[in-house]
Amino acid sequence: MKTTLLFGALLAATLAAPAQAGSVTLPSGAPPVWKSECSSCHVAYPPQLLAKQGWQNVMNGLQKHFGSDASLAPADAKTILAFLERNAAPDGDRFDAASGRITDTRWYGRKHHEIPSSAFRSADVKSAANCQACHEGADKGRFSEHALTAVGRRFED
């Protein structure tokens, strides 16, 4: 195998690793305001699960944030956006979603293609935004299929 090919394969494996493992490591140095603001209504979604453009769209539309007013003090919004941009997935890959919904990324779709939509509507889950209904360690970036809640196990395969 040529060196470039080997390198390419290694690089692909490295890049794919977090998604394949179903877990990400929450970036160190997260500003406290990110945690406190972004986890008031849902788990603070790890920045790596959405591309930069997606986060920019989210942060530009907080007054109508998926149907809720999540407006922030300008200084806090600036701090949070800088953190998200620093740790976002690169644009132009499987974490793209102009809507700002992680559930619209190709990555999310591939990971959940076997889950029926009725599962997301069930009383125990109610919304695909409710990661922790199925993923025990969602607040810590752990989305492995080996760490599911009882509800999550019910919907697996």
Please give the residue ranges that form the binding site for other proteins (CB under 8 A): 32, 41-43, 66-71, 73, 125-127, 129-130, 133
Cα(41)–Cα(105) distance, rounded to whole angstroms? 21
Q: Is 105 in contact with 50 (CB distance < 8 Å)?
A: yes
Task: CB nearer to other proteins: give 42 or 94.
Answer: 42
Task: CB nearer to other proteins: give 25 or 127.
Answer: 127
Q: How far is the CB of 15 from other proteins (least distance, A)?
A: 30
Task: CB nearer to other proteins: give 8 or 31.
Answer: 31
Q: Is 54 exposed, middle or buried (CB count within 10 Å of its CB: 0-12, 13-18, 19+)?
A: buried
Q: How far is the CB of 151 from other proteins (least distance, A)?
A: 11
Among 141, 43, 138, 30, which Cα is nearest to 87's?
30
Q: How far is the CB of 76 from other proteins (least distance, A)?
A: 9
Task: CB nearer to other proteins: give 15 or 33.
Answer: 33
Among 103, 129, 119, 131, which Cα is nearest to 157's?
119
Q: How far is the CB of 69 from other proteins (least distance, A)?
A: 4
Contacts of 43 (CB under 8 A, 6+ apart): 131, 132, 138, 139
